[in-house]
Chain A
């Protein structure tokens, strides 16, 4: 175990040490994508320099090394999520692809007109649009768990919303727009007690909390590597083995078959059945390196620091005149969405950038959440464990500067 030392941690992230517009970069857009430690960059670099080849095909040495590294990465992910078997870990491009895969391969074959799909008002578009598409294809209906003014789920009607027509509950673990941590374990329990399968969109949870899919007892859990300090283009679908086994493939191609002839094709075993084509091998290796990096400290330790920053920033913004925090759930992770009175978020983004402070402004791919609060957009700061208290001060200073300019 490595001790938590913020200076040493920051030294591991080369990108953080640069100036933007003559100011030190303050990167507070982690919910959009996170930065990568040297350990990840070097793992990818090493792979391309020494082991690069295609996987699962060649008998030559490089192909074996590439295959070993790729499969070892799968085991690292399995271990990190506490899944029971490597067969339950499918490498995909990201959370978006994983949700589409489940919608088309798992839900579509068993859903008919009049059936229901249950999501929540807090979802990212990635957990809305694939289900709307499925509804269009099948005549099923999309149902939505409503939200409250604090940005929490309104569960008063949950027992009716989870009913005999519900074919899946697909719910975000942590909201990317507001930071709300949803009670996914309780919801999973309720759904599964009625025989309703559950998908959890963990894109914003995995970088901030230790996830145990067996403890959650969900059927599917999805996330993207790039938000977890790993490369873009790699992500994970965890699926319960029995379900994955019964599902038809999502895409056809090489690697997902055992044998092909024109009279028929035998699909490969799990998880390869769902990994058609050459995968993002370097990405998977980078993802395992990112998990190893986190585990040097332990997620709890990193999360505790990050949570301290969120609390500190929340308290400071609350104390400022003319600043309104959007999303005040009791349990939150990483995200601080806010409005500055009289200043449109888009202007906030530009003014912050001039001070080297990178935040996201916009609807955060969660337009229904914006509509709920009747705002076009928010400014959103989102923290990672490599952020510092000084960076919270820089955030506050940037808000003051904005208010001065617009004063």
Chain B
């Protein structure tokens, strides 16, 4: 059961129960829909971009604990970051989820997402919000991404 505790760490459970930035941003200038049809995870990510600074980011939707917590943690970590910084963070998140060594300093709290590396079937859940935020800032209209 130790692996399960690695996956479902306290931080994950907390963010799943009380997701941060779980709201719509009325004046968002970027947003995208994310969808994982296999398990039915569905979310919308809203971004307010000022130049290349993410001044606000939020999400709404429903899904498994991993996708909800990952989205919540993502919004916390990306707020106030530049797009370049956001890319650098995602690169580390991806590394830690696929079992590569990642920069712990850049990851910070996001390190809890490393638990998915033992659960390949769940990596998609954890990456959904990240793919979605990527699609949102890359496009100036609503766009849909799917991890299937």
Cα–Cα distance between A236 and B100 once the two chains are bound (Å): 48
Q: Contact check: which of A354, A362, A370, A405 meets B38 at CB < 8 Å?
A: A362
Q: Tell yes or no: B41 within 8 A of A by CB.
A: yes
Contact assessment for B63 and A344 in the assembled complex, using a CB-CB cutoff below 8 Å? yes
Tell me the minimal C-beta distance from A357 to chain B in angstroms: 13
The DSSP consensus for interface residues of chain A is: helix
Known: A351-B4, A362-B40, A363-B40. 11 other contacts (CB 8 A): A343-B65, A344-B62, A346-B125, A347-B64, A347-B65, A347-B66, A350-B121, A354-B1, A354-B3, A376-B39, A376-B41
Chain B residue numbers with a CB within 8 Å of A262 are: none
3 closest Cβ pairs, A-B complex: A376-B40, A344-B64, A346-B64
Most chain A CB inside 10 Å of its own CB: which residue of B40, B42, B66, B68: B40
Given contacts A376-B40, A376-B41, contact A350 B7 (CB under 8 A): yes
Q: Tell yes or no: A207 within 8 A of B by CB.
A: no
Contact assessment for B8 and A405 in the assembled complex, using a CB-CB cutoff below 8 Å? yes
Residues of A whose CB lies within 8 Å of any CB of B are: 343-347, 350-351, 354, 361-363, 370, 376-377, 405-406
Contact assessment for B13 and A406 in the assembled complex, using a CB-CB cutoff below 8 Å? yes
Contact assessment for B125 and A376 in the assembled complex, using a CB-CB cutoff below 8 Å? no
Q: Contact check: which of A361, A370, A376, A405 meets B42 at CB < 8 Å?
A: A376
Chain B residue numbers with a CB within 8 Å of A343 are: 65
Cα–Cα distance between A406 and B13 once the two chains are bound (Å): 7
Q: Tell yes or no: B122 within 8 A of A by CB.
A: yes
Q: 1/0 contact trace for B1-42 toward A, CB 8 Å? A: 101100110000100000000000000000000000011111
- Size range of the chain B interface in the assembly: 20 to 34
Contact assessment for B39 and A362 in the assembled complex, using a CB-CB cutoff below 8 Å? yes
Chain A residue numbers with a CB within 8 Å of B63 are: 344, 346, 376
Cα–Cα distance between A377 and B125 once the two chains are bound (Å): 14
Tell me the minimal C-beta distance from B44 to chain A in angstroms: 15
Contact assessment for B39 and A346 in the assembled complex, using a CB-CB cutoff below 8 Å? yes
Q: Which residue of B lies closest to A343 (CB)?
A: B65
Contact assessment for A345 and B4 in the assembled complex, using a CB-CB cutoff below 8 Å? no
Q: Which residue of A lies closest to B63 (CB)?
A: A344
Chain B residue numbers with a CB within 8 Å of A376 are: 39-42, 62-63
Q: Contact check: which of B1, B39, B119 meets A361 at CB < 8 Å?
A: B39
Cα–Cα distance between A406 and B8 once the two chains are bound (Å): 9
Q: Which residue of B lies closest to A361 (CB)?
A: B39
Most chain A CB inside 10 Å of its own CB: which residue of B1, B39, B119: B39
Q: Which residue of A lies closest to B116 (CB)?
A: A350
Query: Would you mind naming 16 contact pairs between A and B with Cβ atoms under 8 Å apart?
Result: A343-B65, A344-B39, A344-B62, A344-B63, A345-B64, A346-B40, A346-B122, A346-B125, A350-B4, A354-B3, A363-B40, A370-B40, A376-B40, A376-B41, A376-B62, A376-B63
Chain B residue numbers with a CB within 8 Å of A354 are: 1, 3-4
Contact assessment for A405 and B4 in the assembled complex, using a CB-CB cutoff below 8 Å? yes
Tell me the minimal C-beta distance from B147 to chain A in angstroms: 12
Q: Which residues of chain B from 65 to 88 have a CB within 8 Å of any chain A CB?
A: 65-66, 68
Tell me the minimal C-beta distance from B98 to chain A in angstroms: 17
Given contacts A344-B63, A376-B62, A405-B4, contact A350 B119 (CB under 8 A): yes
Q: Which residue of B lies closest to A344 (CB)?
A: B64
Chain A residue numbers with a CB within 8 Å of B8 are: 347, 351, 405-406
Cα–Cα distance between A347 and B68 once the two chains are bound (Å): 11
Chain A residue numbers with a CB within 8 Å of B68 are: 344
Cα–Cα distance between A361 and B121 once the two chains are bound (Å): 12
Chain B residue numbers with a CB within 8 Å of A363 are: 40
Contact assessment for A377 and B4 in the assembled complex, using a CB-CB cutoff below 8 Å? no
Tell me the minimal C-beta distance from B146 to chain A in angstroms: 14
Tell me the minimal C-beta distance from A406 to chain B in angstroms: 7
Q: Which residue of A lies closest to B37 (CB)?
A: A363
Cα–Cα distance between A344 and B16 once the two chains are bound (Å): 10
Tell me the minimal C-beta distance from A343 to chain B in angstroms: 7
Q: Which residue of B lies closest to A355 (CB)?
A: B1
Cα–Cα distance between A346 and B16 once the two chains are bound (Å): 13
Chain B residue numbers with a CB within 8 Å of A361 are: 39
Q: 1/0 contact trace for B40-64 toward A, CB 8 Å? A: 1110000000000000000000111
Cα–Cα distance between A343 and B41 once the two chains are bound (Å): 13
Q: Which residue of A lies closest to B121 (CB)?
A: A350
Contact assessment for B1 and A377 in the assembled complex, using a CB-CB cutoff below 8 Å? no
Cα–Cα distance between A347 and B121 once the two chains are bound (Å): 11
Most chain B CB inside 10 Å of its own CB: which residue of A346, A354, A361, A362: A346
Q: Contact check: which of A344, A362, A370 meets B65 at CB < 8 Å?
A: A344
